[in-house]
């Protein structure tokens, strides 16, 4: 459940209860989405999912949908590279 883990990380960084988050998470629906908090969110995602995120992709990770799509691709790629 990547989506739920992303929302939990988001809630922690943005200091909200997960149940209080809107359905869609982006700078238009969430107050206090500053560039600093955005980076904190990305760093927290790295810790949660055990991956390294290229800083160049960060500007594109501006919604929960974009983050989930990105993580799905990254984790698939990482999984494909593991020995069977």
Partner 1 sequence: MSAGGLHRSLALLYPIPARHRRADTGRAEAGQLLGCDDATLSDLVRRGLPATGEPGRERFDSRDLFNLGLYAGTGQSMSEQVFVFALRWMRARTEALLAPRTAAFSARVECDAPDGCGDAPRSVLARPLPKEYDGDLTDYATDPADAGDDDTVVSASPSLGITATLQTRGELLPLRSAGARAAVREFLGADLRWVKLPEDLQADVDLMLDRGVASCASASRWLRQLCVEAGVPATTRMGWVVGMEMVHAWVEIEDTDGVTKVLDPIFALFAAMAPGANPVFRDPDQALRTNRLVPTALAAGEPLARHSCGGRTVPARLTTKILPKVSS
Which residues form the interface with partner 1 (CB under 8 A)? 15, 35-36, 39-40, 42-43, 54-57, 59-60
Three state DSSP letters for 1-30: CHHHHHHHHHHHHCCCCHHHCCCCCCCCCC
How many residues comprise the chain?
Answer: 84
* Least spacing, CB of residue 1 vs partner 1, in Å: 25
Given the complex with partner 1, which of 23 and 56 has the nearer CB atom?
56
Given the complex with partner 1, which of 15 and 23 has the nearer CB atom?
15
| Tokens read off for 75 | 């984790």
Given the complex with partner 1, which of 21 and 66 has the nearer CB atom?
66
């Amino acid at each position: 459940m990547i989506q739920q883990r992303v929302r939990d990380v988001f809630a922690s960084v943005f200091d909200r209860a997960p149940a209080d988050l809107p359905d869609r998470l982006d700078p238009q629906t969430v107050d206090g989405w500053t560039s600093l908090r955005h980076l904190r969110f990305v760093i927290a995602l790295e810790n949660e999912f055990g991956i390294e995120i290229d800083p160049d992709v960060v500007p594109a990770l501006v919604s929960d949908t974009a983050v989930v799509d990105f993580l799905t691709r990254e984790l698939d790629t990482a999984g494909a590279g593991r020995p069977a």
